[in-house]
Structure 1
C-alpha cells in the first residue's frame, strides 16, 4: 500500500485547489527568477554628478534614465544598436553581435560609461561617451584574458594571461609584466588566499594610473590535490593546489609595477611567509599602500603603511587582536579630497561598524550606532560631511539606510518601513534610490529626496504568484537558543491546503555557518521556491538561523570557535522542540537537508540526533575539518595539531556507527572547495560499520550543481523525501 500512495503523490503533483497548478520542479528551480520574477528595475545606477538614475529596459536593448529634472519621466540614453555601431566604427577589424546592452556597466563621470564587451576575436574594456555616442577609450585584449581592470585615466588595462599579468594600452601596445613559467607562481589573481578575507581582486591601479599593485602567490610548496576528469577516454587527473588545515600554506607578497620605468618592487611585508595580506588600499596621493597583515592563526591583524616607491614599511598604524579570530573583510575608504583620513570596518567592539582613523593610526571617532551591523558602505555626500550605509535592524531580519555625520558621529536612520532595503545614494547625497520588500510586499521602488523628505514611487510590484500557483502560507517565527536567552529567527512554511487536524512530515532546511543568513524579512522570507514546492507536496518546511550564522554580531557568530557544529546543533534542536509543540507535525517523520556547511550540519544532526531525524540529504558536506582548507578551516577550528579534541568531536566520520535513518550524500566530482575525499571517507566508515548509506555523484560539477542539472538535483532531493517520509 505504501508504494501505491507514493505513486499517487506523483500523479497528484500539479493539481491544487481552485484550479491553480502546483509548481513544476523546473519552476521550483528557476521560476523565482523567470516565471515568477518580481517586477524590478534592471541594473539601476546613479549617473554621476546628476540627479538621474539609469537602468536597462525590459528588453535589455537600451539604457534608459529617469531624472528629477525631467520629473522622473523615462528617456532613452543609449541603445544597443547605437553602441554596436560605435564599436564597429572604432574596432573595424572585429565583429560585434551584442545579445543585450551590457548589464555590468558603471558611471565613471557624468558622461562616461565603463563596461566590457566581447568581439569575435577579442575582449574589450570600454569607456564610452554617452552624449557623443562614441568610444572614449577602448582596450582590446585576448579573448582568453581574465580579471581585466582599467586604470582610472582609461589609458591602460591590466589582465591575466594564465598565471601572468599583461598591460595593454588603448593605443594597442602590450607590456608583459610577469613571465613566470612555473604554474605554481600565480600573479594578479583574485583567488589569492582562496578569496577569503573579502578578496575579490588581485590587481590595483594607483590613483595616478602610473603603478599597478598586484598579488604574487607562490603555491609551489602546497601539496597537489587530484581531481579526476571522467570525460577523457581514459580518465585523467587534474591537479589543483589545496592547502589543507594544518599543512603547508601558500606564500603571498604584494608587488608594485611602475608603468613608466618598467620595473617592479616587492613590498617588505616580512616574515613569517605564511600570512594573509588583506584590505589592499592605495592612498589617494599614490605614494603609499596600506595592507592588513594577518597572521596564519588569524587572531592578530596589523594595519601597515608601505612606501610605494621603495617598498619599505613606513609604520604600523594599529593592531587588532582577539582570543577567537580577527576577520578583515574590506579595503579602507578614504574620505573625499583627503589623503589623511579613512574609514575602517571592524567588529572589534561587538558589531561590524565604522571607525574614522587618520594615517598616523589615531582613532578620530567611532561611528557605530547601537547594535547595527554595517552590511553595505555606500558613498559620501557632495561636501564629504556625511557617509551613507545599509545596516541591520530588527534582530538581523531587516536592512535599513543610515546616514552618519563624520564630525559629530550623529547617526540618522533614513528608512523606516520594516523589510530588506537595498539601493544607492546619488553622488551629491541628496537622493536615495530605495527598493525594499518584506513578507507581505513583493517589491517597492522609490526615489527619496532626503532634503525635501519627498518620495516618488517608481514601482509597486504585484504578487507574481496570484492566479498561477497556490503558494503555501509562510510565516516568520522566533525561538530561544540553547543558551536560554538569545532569540533566533525562524521560517515556517505550512503544507498546501493546510489542515490543522492532520499530521505532516517535516523537511528542515539548514545551513548554519558563518556569512549566511537564510531567514530575512523579505519577499518569501528568504526561502527558495524549492521550499514551497516541498510544502505544496504536503511537507512542513522549517528553517532557523542558529548562533554562528550571519548579521547578528561578533558574540552571536564566535560561539562556533574550535567546535564547529556543536552550538549550532543545540540551537537547531530548539527548533525541533518548537516543531514538536505543533499538533500538526508528525514527530516520526522529520528530515533535514543542507549543502556545504549545511551538508556538514545535516550529517551531524543525522548522527548525533538519530532518533529524531529519519531522513537526511547532505550536499557537498565537510565530513572532517582536517580535509578542509586553511583559510576558512583554521579560522574557526585552529590547526588540527592545536585542537585535536575539537577536530575529533566535530568529525562525522568517527560517528558513522550512529547512523540509523536514510541518508543521501551528494558530491560534485570536480569540487575544489569541499573535496570529495570528505564524503568518500564517510562512506568508507559506513561500510566498515555495516551502515547502509545512499550516495550520488555529479561527475562534471564543482561545489554547486548549476545550470539545467540543478533541476535534476532538486528532483533527486524531493524524490528522496517523498520515498522515505511520505
Structure 2
C-alpha cells in the first residue's frame, strides 16, 4: 500500500481537569460543544446588510457595512408577539418562546414568518416600518405539505391524501380520492428520489396548481408490526421491491378559476419517473424530466399547460449505467426563454445554459468543480453564485459565474468548508468557514478591494473540558491503483506508539454520503471520538461509490454493489496493518444502513479480517430493497441475476466467523426488517451464532435518548470482544 499523505490535524492538550465524553454526549454533545456561531444569518434584499438572531434566540439583529458590521437590535420576540396579538385579534396571550427561526426577508422592509395557534398554522408578513403583522394565509394544524402561491394569497396543502386550497376566505377541495393507494400532491412520490422534495407547484400567475397523482394500488403492501396496543396491530406501507410492480405517477394541472383538471400527456410506459417539474415564467408551459424505469434514459419534455399536450422533447440524456436528475430547472430572472440545467454527464455535476427550444447555449462548468448547491442571481441577473466541491471532495468553496461568457470567479479561497453568500449588489461575501483546525470563523469580504472584516472567531470548545483525541488525515489509493481516497485516523488521547491498540473501523460506503470532509473534527462523529477515548484506534475512509467525487467515482459500483467498495476498504485495512501500534487480532467494524450491508458483507466475504462487527439496519439482499434506489445501482433482478446472487449475503451465512451484532428498528420502512430476519434464519440453518437486538418503536434510525442506549450497547459489544 502506497501512502500518499498523513497530515497531523488535531491533538489534545492534556491540561488539568480535562475528561472524556460521557456516553450521553455521544448523542447530545454536538449541541453542547458546538463552536460559537451566528444564528440564521440572511442578507436583506437590496441592502448591504444582513440579519441574525442573538444567542438567546430572542432578538433579530442587523449588521451592515455602514456600522462596520456591528450587531444592532431590530426587533424582539416579545415585540413581535404583541404585533401578532393585534393582527390575530386574539384576546388571549400570544407567546413566542423564541424569535421565529423560519423568518425570511421579502424585501428590505418586511419579512415572512409562521405561527401556530391552538388550531391554525398562520403564514404571516411583518412590516418593519409600521411594526405590524399581516395574515397572508392559514391552514389547519393537521395539514401537511403546505405550498404558498407566489403572491402568498393562496395556500395549498394536504389533508390525508387529498389536496385543499385556502384563499383566505374559503377552502376548496382540489381532490377527493378515497381509494387506499391513491395519493395526491405528496412529496413522497418516487420515494423522494430524483431530487423530489415537493408534490405541488403553483403557476407564476397564482391561478393554477401542478401536482403529482400517485397510484400505488398495485404495489405490494408491506406489514410493520405495531407493539403499543394490548394486541399488536399491523400498519401497512406500500413497498415496491426491486423487480416488482412499481407505482404509476401522473401530473395534473388544476385551474382554480375554472375548477378544471387536465393531465399532462406523459405517455407510456406507466412505470416511469417524473421529476424536475418546473413552470416557465410565462405560465404557458411546464417542463418535466421523464426517466425510464431502467434509469438510463432521460427526456426533458415541454408541455402545454392549458391542455397538457406535449410540445416537444428538448433534449435527451442516456448512460450505460444511470442518469440521476437531482435539481429542478432554474430560469434566468431576465430571460424567460433560458434556463439552467444540472447534470454530471461530462464527469462532474455542473451547470448548462439552455434555451426553451432545447438548444445548448453554453456549458458553465469550471474545471472539475462539482456544483453542490445554487446560490442567488446577481441583481442584474447576469451572474449566479454556487457552492462548489473542490480538493478531491474535501472542500466547499463559493464561485460566481457570468452567464453570458461562462467566466468563473472563486470568491472564497482558504481550504475548508465554506457556507457563503453574496449581498444583492455583489460587493460583499458573508462567509462561514471551518476546517480541520478551525472550529468556526465568520467574516465579510469586500469583493472590490479584498478587505475582510472578521465578525466571529470561535475558540476550541473542548479546551479545558474534554481530552480531544488526535485526528490525522489519510490519503490512500483505491483498489484500481489510481484513484485517491480520503480517510482519517483518530488516536486515543494518551496514545503510545509502543503499545498495541484494538481498532474500530467505522464506514458507510454508499452513494450520496461522505464521512470525511475538511471541516471541524474532519467530519468525525462524537461516537468516533468516544471510542478513541476508550482506547481504540478509529479509522474511516470514503471508498469509491461514495459522494462528492464525480460520475466515474460512483459508477464503478453499477450492478455489483459492495464489490469495489470492499476492495477499497481492504486497502485501508492493509494500511492499518502496516502500523506497529495496530493489533491485527483485534479489529472491529461498525456501519449502519449501507454501512450495515458493508459490515455484514465483510464478515462473510472476508471473515478473516475482523474479529467483531456491529451492523445496523443492514441491507442483506438487494431483492428486498425498494425499486427506485435498488434498480438504479443493481438493475432489476431479472436483468442482473448474477449481480444479485453475488451481492446477496443469505447464501454466505455459512462463511461467517467472529462476533456479529445486528441491530434493527422494528418499524424500519427503508431497510425493512425482513433483511435481518432472513439473515438470522440463514445463520441458524448454517449453525452460526449471531447476536441480534431490536428497537421496537424506531424506524431506520434510532433517535433521542434511545440512541444513547444504542451507542452504549455497541461500545459494550466491542469492549466485550476486543479488549483484553
Q: Which residue is 1:175 aligned to?
A: 172
User: Residues 214 and 254 of structure 1 are in contact (CA less than 8 Å); yes or no, is this contact kept in structure 2?
Assistant: yes
1:546-584 Cα distance to aligned partner (Å, 9 max, x none): 000001000001101000000000000000001001110
User: Residues 127 and 154 of structure 1 are in contact (CA less than 8 Å); yes or no, is this contact kept in structure 2?
Assistant: no
Question: 1:69 is paired with a residue of what secondary structure?
Answer: helix
- Asked if residue 114 in structure 1 is aligned to residue 115 in structure 2, the reply is no
TM-score, length-scaled by structure 1:
0.96
User: Residues 398 and 421 of structure 2 are in contact (CA less than 8 Å); yes or no, is this contact kept in structure 1?
Assistant: no
Indicate how the Cα distance of structure 1 residues 487 and 273 shifts in structure 2: closer, same or farther if over 3 A, else same: same
Within 2, Cα distance between the matches of 1:139 and 1:412? 41
Pairs within 5 Å for 1:441-456: 441-456=438-453
Q: How many residues align?
A: 709
Higher relative contact order (CA 8 A, sep 6+): 2
Question: Which residue among 191, 210, 219 is the counterpart of 1:213?
Answer: 210
Pairs within 5 Å for 1:324-723: 324-723=321-720
Shift of 1:95: 6.1
Within 2, Cα distance between the matches of 1:208 and 1:432? 33
Question: 2:489 is paired with a residue of what secondary structure?
Answer: strand
Within 2, Cα distance between the matches of 1:61 and 1:141? 26
Higher mean C-alpha displacement, 420-429 vs 364-373: 420-429
User: Residues 381 and 430 of structure 1 are in contact (CA less than 8 Å); yes or no, is this contact kept in structure 2?
Assistant: no
User: Residues 97 and 119 of structure 1 are in contact (CA less than 8 Å); yes or no, is this contact kept in structure 2?
Assistant: no
1:400-446 Cα distance to aligned partner (Å, 9 max, x none): 11111111111111111010111222223222111111111001111
Within 2, Cα distance between the matches of 1:87 and 1:168? 21
Shift of 1:73: 1.9
Point out where structure 2 has 5 or more consecutive residues left out of the alignment: 1-13
1:245-286 Cα distance to aligned partner (Å, 9 max, x none): 100111111111111112211111111110101111110111
TM-score, length-scaled by structure 2:
0.96
1:45-65 Cα distance to aligned partner (Å, 9 max, x none): 111121111111111112111
Shift of 1:17: 7.2
Within 1, Cα distance between the matches of 2:421 and 2:516? 23
Within 1, Cα distance between the matches of 2:514 and 2:290? 28
Question: Which residue among 245, 257, 262 is the counterpart of 2:259?
Answer: 262
Question: Which residue among 145, 155, 158 is the counterpart of 2:156?
Answer: 158
Higher mean C-alpha displacement, 694-703 vs 137-146: 137-146
1:427-469 Cα distance to aligned partner (Å, 9 max, x none): 2322211111111100111112212322111111000000001
Within 2, Cα distance between the matches of 1:203 and 1:427? 29
User: Residues 278 and 291 of structure 1 are in contact (CA less than 8 Å); yes or no, is this contact kept in structure 2?
Assistant: yes
Task: Let me know the Cα RMSD of the aligned residues.
Answer: 1.2
Higher mean C-alpha displacement, 519-528 vs 138-147: 138-147
Q: Which residue is 2:18 aligned to?
A: 20
Question: 2:496 is paired with a residue of what secondary structure?
Answer: coil
Question: 1:601 is paired with a residue of what secondary structure?
Answer: helix
Within 2, Cα distance between the matches of 1:335 and 1:277? 23
Question: Which residue among 314, 317, 320 is the counterpart of 1:320?
Answer: 317
Q: Which residue is 1:143 aligned to?
A: 141
User: Residues 477 and 483 of structure 2 are in contact (CA less than 8 Å); yes or no, is this contact kept in structure 1?
Assistant: yes
Shift of 1:489: 0.2
Within 2, Cα distance between the matches of 1:576 and 1:437? 29
Within 2, Cα distance between the matches of 1:305 and 1:110? 36
Question: 2:165 is paired with a residue of what secondary structure?
Answer: strand
Question: 2:27 is paired with a residue of what secondary structure?
Answer: helix
Higher mean C-alpha displacement, 146-155 vs 122-131: 122-131
Within 2, Cα distance between the matches of 1:660 and 1:136? 66
Question: 2:67 is paired with a residue of what secondary structure?
Answer: coil
Question: 2:335 is paired with a residue of what secondary structure?
Answer: coil
Shift of 1:97: 3.0
Shift of 1:161: 0.5
Shift of 1:379: 1.3
Pairs within 5 Å for 1:288-327: 288-327=285-324
Within 2, Cα distance between the matches of 1:268 and 1:95? 52
User: Residues 137 and 154 of structure 1 are in contact (CA less than 8 Å); yes or no, is this contact kept in structure 2?
Assistant: no
Shift of 1:399: 0.9
User: Residues 206 and 286 of structure 1 are in contact (CA less than 8 Å); yes or no, is this contact kept in structure 2?
Assistant: yes
Shift of 1:92: 2.9
Shift of 1:140: 2.1
Within 1, Cα distance between the matches of 2:187 and 2:136? 23
1:589-614 Cα distance to aligned partner (Å, 9 max, x none): 11110111111011111111111111
User: Residues 284 and 338 of structure 1 are in contact (CA less than 8 Å); yes or no, is this contact kept in structure 2?
Assistant: no
- Asked if residue 53 in structure 1 is aligned to residue 50 in structure 2, the reply is yes
User: Residues 667 and 700 of structure 2 are in contact (CA less than 8 Å); yes or no, is this contact kept in structure 1?
Assistant: yes
Shift of 1:128: 2.5
Higher mean C-alpha displacement, 323-332 vs 650-659: 650-659
Within 1, Cα distance between the matches of 2:93 and 2:556? 56
Question: 2:369 is paired with a residue of what secondary structure?
Answer: coil
Shift of 1:86: 2.1
1:340-361 Cα distance to aligned partner (Å, 9 max, x none): 0111100000000010101010
User: Residues 380 and 429 of structure 1 are in contact (CA less than 8 Å); yes or no, is this contact kept in structure 2?
Assistant: no
User: Residues 139 and 156 of structure 1 are in contact (CA less than 8 Å); yes or no, is this contact kept in structure 2?
Assistant: yes
Higher mean C-alpha displacement, 219-228 vs 69-78: 69-78
Shift of 1:30: 1.4
User: Residues 604 and 655 of structure 2 are in contact (CA less than 8 Å); yes or no, is this contact kept in structure 1?
Assistant: yes
Question: 1:376 is paired with a residue of what secondary structure?
Answer: strand
Question: Which residue among 80, 83, 97 is the counterpart of 1:83?
Answer: 80
Higher mean C-alpha displacement, 447-456 vs 204-213: 447-456
Within 2, Cα distance between the matches of 1:224 and 1:235? 18
1:299-350 Cα distance to aligned partner (Å, 9 max, x none): 0000011111111111111000000000000000111122101111000000
Within 1, Cα distance between the matches of 2:60 and 2:492? 43
Within 2, Cα distance between the matches of 1:61 and 1:183? 45
Shift of 1:116: 2.3
Point out where structure 1 has 5 or more consecutive residues left out of the alignment: 1-15
Question: 1:516 is paired with a residue of what secondary structure?
Answer: coil
Question: 1:245 is paired with a residue of what secondary structure?
Answer: coil
Within 2, Cα distance between the matches of 1:683 and 1:215? 40
User: Residues 137 and 155 of structure 1 are in contact (CA less than 8 Å); yes or no, is this contact kept in structure 2?
Assistant: no
Higher mean C-alpha displacement, 413-422 vs 89-98: 89-98
User: Residues 163 and 183 of structure 1 are in contact (CA less than 8 Å); yes or no, is this contact kept in structure 2?
Assistant: no
Indicate how the Cα distance of structure 1 residues 17 and 689 shifts in structure 2: closer, same or farther if over 3 A, else same: farther
Shift of 1:19: 3.1
Shift of 1:129: 2.1
Question: 1:572 is paired with a residue of what secondary structure?
Answer: helix
Within 1, Cα distance between the matches of 2:15 and 2:337? 66
